[in-house]
Structure 1
């Protein structure tokens, strides 16, 4: 494993366990304790973790991972969700895509849909669709959030007021049945709520590790009718709160088919 990938994984482990020892990390990655200490020193300098007494470390208030860090996380799950979601889109529709890697994977699957119009707030989706000769692309613009590689702010919000959509596909840092979509920034949650209000059908792409997760304190409320799209690793206990609220749940297989 490359040094950068190992450090990204250390941050991910810290987010799930909260406290991880040098010895545990050294055993996990099959490297020396000195190597882990150097990793922790660099991650501390970058503000991504905090060192604690005895060589353990804890995550600093759940710092938001960058898009680059998230690119290779749950890759198979994101592809499965994207394949199912792409199959819901028909030629001639106008759809709205969020920023993020899960929705970026969906954009990749949509490249050959004829007479499709896609509006997006995300650079990832724009990159995936830039070479398509069949998809008409609209960028909503606004202020670029460098961590998420997505546009937010009043210009993006104003652009939404002039458009309606057949479907909107959203990503999430976490999603709960009670509070909705969890994000790192209030501008993101406000924009997501506005996006949901402009579409006939609302889909949230959230792989199993994001279900019930609340890493931040900003929330986007979900409408009464929406579709949760997740992957086969989702546990029944994690899905139960959504089922209790009448949410339509789609568990996508690797080939993009739906688990019945």
Structure 2
């Protein structure tokens, strides 16, 4: 998926606004409406926006719930998953924490006396870690996403690349029937890919509401991670045979 810097900014703005007019975009970027229409056409062909008269909007499949809405959904399952993930963390490790509500629950579940270095863009995780004096926390900068309680953007990725982690703990927006993992926005998918690329061990936390589910931006396949943690009702709820899927992919499945 190849996007120009302006197209990435359009998607960032659209995610907050849901709908934008061609005139708004032309004025913001100081280009012609014809140039903006070409951007809209490119984004539409990639399935990232929906063209409409006089502008564009987000496709229904790219609209995720806000952090606040997601934080109360499947909460007990998320807490079980988060607690189980603690066992993957060695003392004195450097770990990446991704965005999302289940990862925030993981940060809350970390013991306060556990000596660790944590690097994250997840502001809810940062809030939880502020109460854990043994954890050295590094916070990425970038563009604030108020509805998602995190930061994103090129500055965020540059900061992450300064570290090499023993373990990355990430969530995903959707998992398909074959174990493919997806996100709702290109910057979310790219962020998780950067965490994976700079980690020795990769773990994904995903409750059963995430699959089977559609989202447009590919993150990774099960073959590209080491641990997949989900709730023990996942196979029944989602109608998936998770154990054989994970066994074929060579990933360790944790049913929590």
TM-score normalised to structure 1 length: 0.69
Contact 1:179–1:220 (CA under 8 A) maintained in structure 2:
no
Counterpart in 1 of 2:44? none
Question: Separation in 2 of the partners of 1:81 and 1:113?
Answer: 21
Residue 242 (structure 1) aligned with residue 246 (structure 2): yes
SS in 2 for 1:162: coil
Aligned residues: 193
**Structure 1 residues 113 and 96: CA distance shift in structure 2, 3 A:** farther
Contact 2:82–2:109 (CA under 8 A) maintained in structure 1:
yes
Residue 202 (structure 1) aligned with residue 202 (structure 2): yes
Residue 122 (structure 1) aligned with residue 126 (structure 2): no
**Structure 1 residues 225 and 177: CA distance shift in structure 2, 3 A:** farther
Question: Separation in 2 of the partners of 1:177 and 1:60?
Answer: 20
Q: Residues 147-169 of structure 1: CA distance to partner in whole angstroms, max 9, x if unpaired? A: 32222111111112210001000
User: 1:133-172 maps to which residues of 2 (within 5 A)?
Assistant: 133-172=133-172
Question: Separation in 2 of the partners of 1:101 and 1:225?
Answer: 20
Counterpart in 1 of 2:47? none
**Structure 1 residues 176 and 218: CA distance shift in structure 2, 3 A:** same
SS in 1 for 2:234: coil
Q: Residues 80-115 of structure 1: CA distance to partner in whole angstroms, max 9, x if unpaired? A: 111111122122111010111100000011141432
Counterpart in 2 of 1:86? 86
Question: Separation in 1 of the partners of 2:224 and 2:181?
Answer: 14
Question: Separation in 2 of the partners of 1:88 and 1:194?
Answer: 20
Counterpart in 2 of 1:217? 216
Structure 1 unaligned residues grouped into runs of 5+: 1-58, 253-260
**Structure 1 residues 233 and 91: CA distance shift in structure 2, 3 A:** same
SS in 2 for 1:82: helix
Question: Separation in 2 of the partners of 1:179 and 1:249?
Answer: 12
Question: Separation in 1 of the partners of 2:176 and 2:251?
Answer: 11
Contact 2:113–2:133 (CA under 8 A) maintained in structure 1:
no
Contact 1:175–1:210 (CA under 8 A) maintained in structure 2:
yes
- After TM superposition, give the deviation of residue 124 of structure 1 in Å: 1.1
Counterpart in 2 of 1:41? none
More deviation, 109-118/91-100: 109-118
Structure 2 unaligned residues grouped into runs of 5+: 1-58
SS in 1 for 2:209: helix
Counterpart in 1 of 2:75? 75
SS in 2 for 1:219: strand
